[in-house]
Amino acid sequence: MEKYHEIWLEEERKSIEGWDFSVLDGRWESEAIPWDYQAEIQKRLKPTDRLLDLGTGGGEFLLTLNHPYELTCVTEGYPPNLEICKNKLEPLGITVKGVDESNHLDYPDAFFDLVIDRHEAYDLSEVKRVLKPGGVFITQQVGGRNNEELSRWFIPDFVSEYADFDGQSQKTVFIETGFRIEMYQEASLRLKFFDVGTVVFYAKNIPWEFPGFTVDVYLPRLDALQALMDEQGYIQSTEYRFIIVARKV
C-alpha cells in the first residue's frame, strides 16, 4: 500500500478553482440527474429579466446562460471564489456581492425576476424579499445525507449537521414562506470513484461531508478502501439531489 501514500498526499494538496470538478473527469462517474437544471432556467428566463445567481462559484455555469451582463447579478460566500468572481465577472459588467453565513442578500426588495441556486445555502425569506411579485426561484440542492455511506467509511458515527435537509421538508418551508411550487423532483444517484486518489481529492474539498479529513489521520481506512478498489474496480457512494421551481405569490 505504501506506493499509494505519496499519490494520496499529492491529491490532498490539490484544490479546485471556483466550483469546477472537471479535473476529475474520467476518474469518477455519476449517474445522470433525471432533470435538466439549465433547461428549467432557460425556458423561464426572458432577455429582459433581472437575474440573480446565488453561490455562483467562479461563474462557470452562469456564463453558459449568455444572459445580458448588465441584468445579471451574483453572490458568492467562499472568499477564494469571491476573488475569482471580482476578477472574472465584474469586468464583464456583472454585479458581484459577497454573502456571509447569515445569507442576507445585499440587493433591494422586489429587484429580481428570477433567482437561481445550484448547491448553495439560502435564506428563503431573503430570496422572497428580493424577488418581484410573481418572480421565480429555481434551486437544485444536495440533500443533507449525500454520500453518507462514504462519510461513514471514515467516520463510523458521522451524522451530517444538515441531515434533516431534504426535498420534502423544503417543499413545506417554501409553501409556508409564500411560494407556489411549480416543479419538484428528487433523485438518489450512484456515484463511482475509479481510484482512491479521487476520493481523497473529493473528501478534502468537501469538508462538511468529511470533517477533519487528512490522509495521515485516515490512512488505515484509505488502505482498506484501496483493497476494496483492487477487488471490485471502483468505490460506490450515493448522491442525493432535488430540484424545486417555485413562484412568489
Per-residue pLDDT reduced to its tens digit, 156-192: 999 998 899 999 999 999 999 999 999 999 999 999 9
- Cell numbers found for residue 233: 474496480
pLDDT digits (tens, 9 = 90+) for 100-130: 999 999 999 999 999 999 999 999 999 999 9
Task: Quote the percentage of the chain above a pLDDT of 70.
Answer: 99
Whether the CA torsion 81, 214, 162, 182 is positive or negative: it is: positive
pLDDT of residue 159: 92
Largest CA distance in the chain: 61
Q: Which CATH number fits domain 2-248: 3.40.50.150, 1.25.40.80, 3.40.309.10, 1.10.10.10?
A: 3.40.50.150
Distance, in Å, from the CA atom of 13 to the CA atom of 24, rounded to the nearest integer, reads 15
pLDDT digits (tens, 9 = 90+) for 146-156: 999 999 999 99
How buried is 44 (Cβ within 10 angstroms: 0-12 exposed, 13-18 middle, 19+ buried)?
middle
Whether the CA torsion 233, 193, 187, 61 is positive or negative: it is: negative
pLDDT over 80 at 1, yes or no: no
| pLDDT band of 2, cuts 50, 70, 90 | confident
Q: Where are the domains of the chain?
A: 2-248
**For residue 36, how many other CB atoms are within 10 A of its CB?**
12
- Cell numbers found for residue 58: 467562479
pLDDT over 70 at 19, yes or no: no
